[in-house]
Structure formats: C-alpha cells, structure tokens
C-alpha cells in the first residue's frame, strides 16, 4: 500500500499520535477536526456556529493541501456535544457542502477534546 501523510500549517497540528490526514489508495482520510485556531491552538468561539465554521475551515485547508476541495468529500461524521445543536451546525455545514453533498452521520457524544462543541472527520476521493 502507498501511504502519504498530509500536513498543512493552515490547520491545527495533531494534538496526539495521529496525522491530520492520510492519502492511501486514491482516498484521503482526514482525522477529526475540532475548532482549534491553527495560529493559537485554542478553541475558536463559544457557540456552535463559530466552532462549526472553524472546523470546516480546518477541513478545507487539509483538502487543499491534498490538492482537492469539498467536492471531493464522499463521507463525513459529525460529533456533537449536544444534539440540540444539530440545526445550527447543519446551517453552517450547508454553506460548505452545497451540491452533491457527501454521505454523513451525525451523533451526540459525551464529550469532545478540549471541550469542543463539534468535531468532524472526512473521507475524500482523490
């Protein structure tokens, strides 16, 4: 298998033993992104809208580094600290994925790293 690590300084550095993304066999696997500002390493925003925007901007930066954009995304998983935030998250999400949207799962979880309200991972075709 041919495996390549993808890294960009325009998205937060990994906060553990993982890569921002891995390119393998024509696919791009992007690790879950939380709303960390890549410049400060701190959570950006206290509300779900601001945090979702930051998460999706982080995903876009990683996609760009891999040479694709949001149209290449085939699957996402959205992890919400509170499922009541679904509608607000979905409104922002819909501005990033506007046509031929990826398959998606959205779930509520007990907690997310650094107290984030949302985390999203993605799989894209190359």
pLDDT digits (tens, 9 = 90+) for 92-104: 999 999 999 999 9
> Could you give the 3-state DSSP secondary structure of residue 65?
helix
Kindly list the distances between the CA atom of residue 54 and the CA atoms of 4, 46, 96, 122, in Å, as whole numbers in the listed order.
25, 11, 11, 15
Band of the pLDDT at 15, cuts 50, 70, 90?
confident
Band of the pLDDT at 76, cuts 50, 70, 90?
very high
pLDDT in tens, 17-41: 999 999 999 999 999 999 999 999 9
Neighbours of 86 (CB within 10 A): 16
pLDDT of 1: 77
Domain limits, the chain:
3-125
Kindly list the distances between the CA atom of residue 45 and the CA atoms of 53, 77, 83, 118, in Å, as whole numbers in the listed order.
10, 21, 18, 11
| Best CATH choice for the domain 3-125 from the list 3.40.1160.10, 3.30.1330.40, 3.50.50.60, 3.30.70.1560 | 3.30.1330.40
Q: Is this model's pTM higher than 0.75 or not?
A: yes
């Amino acid at each position: 298998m041919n495996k390549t690590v993808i890294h960009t300084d325009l998205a937060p550095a990994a906060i553990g033993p993982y890569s921002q993304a891995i390119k393998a066999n024509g696919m791009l696997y992007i690790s879950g992104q939380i709303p960390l500002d890549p410049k400060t390493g701190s959570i950006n925003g206290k509300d779900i809208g601001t945090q979702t925007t930051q998460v999706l901007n982080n995903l876009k930066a990683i996609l760009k580094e891999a040479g694709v954009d949001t149209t290449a995304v085939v699957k996402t998983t959205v992890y919400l600290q509170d499922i009541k935030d679904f509608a607000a998250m979905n409104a922002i999400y819909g501005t990033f994925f506007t046509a031929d949207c990826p398959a998606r799962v959205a779930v509520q979880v007990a907690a997310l790293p650094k107290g984030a309200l949302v985390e999203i991972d993605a799989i894209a075709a190359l």
